[in-house]
Amino acid sequence: MVPPRMDWRRIAYHTLVSRALDDVEETTNRNRAHVPKDHLVLYQFSARGHDMAQAILGSFIDHPHDAAGAYYRSRPLLLSLGLEIEDALGSPLGRAGGFSDGRDIGVVCNLPTRQGPKVLPMSGDVGSQYTPVAGWAQSIQYHRDVLGDASWRGAMAVALGGDGSVATNGFWSALTMATTLKLPVLFYIEDNNLGISVRGEMQTPGANIARNLASFGNLFIRDGDGTDPAQAASLIKACVDHVRAGEGPALVRLTVPRLSSHSGPDNQKGYRTDEEIAEDFKRDPLPRLRDFLVPAHLGITEWEALEREVARDVAAGLEGARARPAPDPVTILRHRYAEADAPDDQALGGLTAAERRALGGTTEPSEGGEMVRFQEAIRRTLRRELEVNPRLVVFGEDVGVKGGVHLVTEGLQKQFGPGRVFDTSLSEEGIIGRASGMAIAGLVPVAEIQFRKYADPATEQLNNTGTMRWRTANRFCAPMVVRMPGGFGKDVGDPWHSLSAEVLWAHAIGWQLAIPSNAADAVGLLRAAMRSPNPTIFFEHRSLLMTSDGSAHYPGDDYIVPLGVGATLREGTELTLVSWGAMVHRCADALAMTDVSVEFIDLRSIAPWDKARVLDSVKKTGRCLIVHEDTKTAGFGAEIGAVLAQEAFWHLDAPVERLCVDDVPMPYHPVLLDAVLPSPAQIAARIDALVRM
């Protein structure tokens, strides 16, 4: 049965436009020697065969708070949601403007529509679109039920993916979230039975994900032919109606042909027979759409007029796209982070600048605060921000009823409810991807990864979050805080729970990284992170969580420590000592063992880091010792040493020294742990030796 009130002319227009764009790009990609260099499409993906069903899907995505997460073969959907033809062609040509300003692959699109459906920033990796979509869907529930915003009622999130993507971590994590939480998500799976060259039988048993998921609870499933206009429309509508009615998630699988190679550089004849390719062309949905519409819905003259309209529009779009200049290389370093001189709130995501300012804050600690341990300081700060910012949410594995494995979130769910402080399924990909979608939807996620090592499965989502503002040319951002305990524990270590490896996040473009050494700094840095327009890794050292070493006077409910500002804990003239995290306390103990006049700096954050403070100190003392827990090779101490060698070389009276863990995993037994960690005695001895040089 064909759904009523379908705008078939609009569907046909976008299908024809998509097909025409593919025609242009397939004949002007970089494999075509005859094409002028400035007309070359640098990297090309065709949606040929997937186009009609996506245009139908787009006609159902019409709520102001709908959002879609898509992938590199999803341009027909974007066209149906408002992507301009000139942008659709300009970006594959690598031209200025558009959805990435020449920074990303041309069909890795986004659409930050303010008053209508959005398309979340795509990524070039497979399957990473799913968990941010689940995060957006959970945000729909949050805006509607917790914040009481009725305008979000009936909204849905849509995740588009191919049959290859259903084998990924992201798909299964998002599916788990959607079904356990009954999220308003539509999974749209277009199955062409190929993942580049790998057949569907290798992606999912039996090559039919819909059939395999039949036993899943809370999942409405439809399966059919994506080349049949009436059937595709009927199946999509059934799923959309289910999701919008608040009945939970749905999945529709539509079989479609891939009428092209995987991408421009690919040659499918290396892995497909001519007969197989010919069979796919017999299933081309465009002739079927024409036969369906003419003459029942459109007259032949109207169809021909539509084809001429599409030809004119695509020609005009191509002319405009080719006339655009190349991106300006002077701007390439912009938008890695939020910029003070950028238009206010240009990027979609997080709090507005005005909302952040309204939260206030002071860099002056209050007087007379009681002594608190590191763990309690973090809990108090989370509690205060939950009180003053209704859009802040705290979540992760075990953070709710249990209160976290280190009990940092103990009692917060009881006070603020499971809508704001909640447990998640055990998937770090899901935790961070969910946070990304929530942040784009205007929430402030504070996600916990139980231990630093456990962040490894989430690396893809963490990287995509960090680069989001840059690769969308400041159209999207995802400010969040990721709390990440790590480092050696009290009298114990191991390769899994005691990893620090913080230098990875110093190297992760777009992320800030805070590593407090005491309770007061933890308060100020965590509050700064939760009010920042940039994503932040908040590294909580296990030793400080498990002992009283980091205890300090509580600095107040409004205290902020700006990221990138270190602290000079002691002034001196003979040597500069630089450290961060739990090593600060070992360094402090070492200073009691030496008579050297040491200037002692706690960096507090290493992305950004207080380069000016360290340089000024070393220019005064002439010597520097860097102490950290991360392993020596390519640890962050090497970056500091390189900067000092370049910018303070003529002020140095001795080589810059590093004292850190040798290149070995953190061991379990206390005797072995003591053998690898820098001790106060070793630090003091190295200080004395440096001064004697």
Length of the chain in terms of residues written: 693
Q: For 487, left (φ over 0), alpha (ψ -120 to 50), or beta?
A: left
CB atoms within 10 A of CB 33: 5
- φ, ψ of residue 484 in degrees (nearest 5): -145, 95
Distance CA 163, CA 92 (A): 24
Distance CA 266, CA 690 (A): 59
Host H or E run for residue 447: strand 444-448
Distance CA 549, CA 613 (A): 25
> Look-up: residue for tokens 């020449």?
102
Question: Buried (b) or exposed (e) across 501-528, using 16+ Cβ within 10 A?
Answer: bbbbbbebebbbbbbbbbbbbbbbbbbb
> Look-up: residue for tokens 């084998």?
167
DSSP 165: G
Distances in whole angstroms, Cα of residue 681 to Cα of each of 164, 526, 663: 56, 32, 21
Comparing C-alpha atoms, which of 369, 373, 431 is closest to residue 407?
373
Catalytic residue among 50, 262, 335, 497: 497
Distance CA 125, CA 72 (A): 9
C-alpha torsion sign, points 242, 1, 165, 42: negative
Neighbour-count burial of 312, counting CB atoms closer than 10 A to its CB (0-12 exposed, 13-18 middle, 19+ buried): exposed
Question: Would residue 497 show up in a list of annotated catalytic residues for this protein?
Answer: yes
Distance CA 60, CA 7 (A): 10
161 three-state secondary structure: strand
CB atoms within 10 A of CB 5: 5
Which residues are annotated as catalytic?
Answer: 497
